[in-house]
Amino acid sequence: MSLSGDDSDVERDTKRRRLRRGDDASDDEDNASIASGIEGDVGVTADERVYFSADDEEDDEGEDLIENAQDDYKRMDTLDQYDMGQLDDRRYDAIDDDTRRRVEEELDRRDAREGRLAAVLQEDQEMERDDAHRRRFVRRQDEGEGDDLVQVQHVPNLVVTVYLMHKQFLNTYTHDNKVVYHEKIVKMAQRNEQSLEIEIGDIIQCMSIFAAWIVEAPKDMLSLLDEVARDVVLSLFPYYDTIHKEVFVRILDLPGTEKIRDLRTAHLNFLIKVSGVVTRRTSVFPQLQLVKFNCVACGAILG
């Protein structure tokens, strides 16, 4: 339906109404008069008028949260009733550090089995989220125990403990009557590599709290693991440092995978596994511009 033919009549009627009211007429009144004229022209019925409410003529400024804020605090007897059978009113005694540590280890093992290290993988959650390990880590920090995880190298006794535990793990962990990581070290040496790959599941199976430290304080822990791995390699191949001065530990198969687009500040300083698709890359710009070779036989310069 076209209203272009009647626009001039509506405008004239509007001007006449404005002159009768005076120049101080508000824009809202003008809009209301124009709307009434249009409704008269197009013949809006009573049933159709429900679609032209007064709210549609007002500016869309959103809901006023302050105007009816007190209504949220009114007592509602139907909703303020609690099922006493579902309330836990038991009293719990405080536990000592050893008991809490054993409980934490059991929870770590459960989380590792269920893959809870990657609870932040819920695609519909875009806000920062912490997994079970991270929540317990923050709680331990509040209780004054976080320093052992964050500043591992600053605790001499803990450094020695980690060193001995990891060294024993590399030298004794067996599967099918084979020392798993001795075989991996031999294969690494045969290929002249310097990366020793360790399955996180193997560490969880032997010492779950140790695995939690790796995830929660990777910067300090991995530097210690590199040192231990190098010493174990040199114990098997004493001259391997002539090939590589350092050996690096690579942790494999962390439970769950983070998407690159879901990374948040909550992931900082934690060991995570990420996945993504490279959609754009830059060209390789060579740094070498000019090459010349000196022939040792005849002294000629080639290139």
Looking at the fold, whether 32 and 141 belong to one and the same domain comes out as no
Looking at the fold, whether 148 and 245 belong to one and the same domain comes out as yes
Looking at the fold, whether 15 and 133 belong to one and the same domain comes out as no
Looking at the fold, whether 41 and 101 belong to one and the same domain comes out as no
Residue 288 falls inside a structural domain: no
Residues of the chain with pLDDT under 50: 1-5, 24-25, 38-44, 48, 50-53, 56-59, 117-130, 133, 141, 145-153
Predicted pLDDT of residue 75: 79
Residue 5 falls inside a structural domain: no
Looking at the fold, whether 143 and 30 belong to one and the same domain comes out as no
Predicted pLDDT of residue 105: 84
The DSSP string of 197-251 is: EEEHHHHHHH-HHHHHHHHHSHHHHHHHHHHHHHHHHHHH-TTGGGT-S--EEEE
Residue 62 falls inside a structural domain: no
170-204 tens-digit pLDDT: 999 998 889 999 999 999 999 999 999 999 999 99
Residue 81 falls inside a structural domain: no
Report residue 27: phi and psi, to 5°. Answer: -65, -35
CATH code where residue 234 lies: 3.30.1640.10
Residue 245 falls inside a structural domain: yes
Looking at the fold, whether 27 and 156 belong to one and the same domain comes out as no
pTM of the model: 0.44
Q: CA nearest 259: which of 278, 279, 241, 273?
A: 273
What is the residue range of 21's domain? 11-45
Looking at the fold, whether 161 and 263 belong to one and the same domain comes out as yes
Using an 8 Å Cβ cutoff, are 140 and 209 in contact? no
CA distance 249 to 91: 46
- Domain count within the chain: 2
Looking at the fold, whether 153 and 263 belong to one and the same domain comes out as yes
- Which residues neighbour 39 within 8 Å (Cβ) at sequence distance 6 or greater? 49, 52
Residue 236 falls inside a structural domain: yes
Looking at the fold, whether 35 and 180 belong to one and the same domain comes out as no
Looking at the fold, whether 120 and 264 belong to one and the same domain comes out as yes
- Which residues neighbour 212 within 8 Å (Cβ) at sequence distance 6 or greater? 108, 133
CA distance 224 to 230: 10
Predicted pLDDT of residue 182: 94
Looking at the fold, whether 103 and 37 belong to one and the same domain comes out as no
108-158 tens-digit pLDDT: 777 766 655 444 444 444 444 445 545 555 555 455 544 444 444 455 577
Predicted pLDDT of residue 96: 82
CA distance 301 to 130: 63
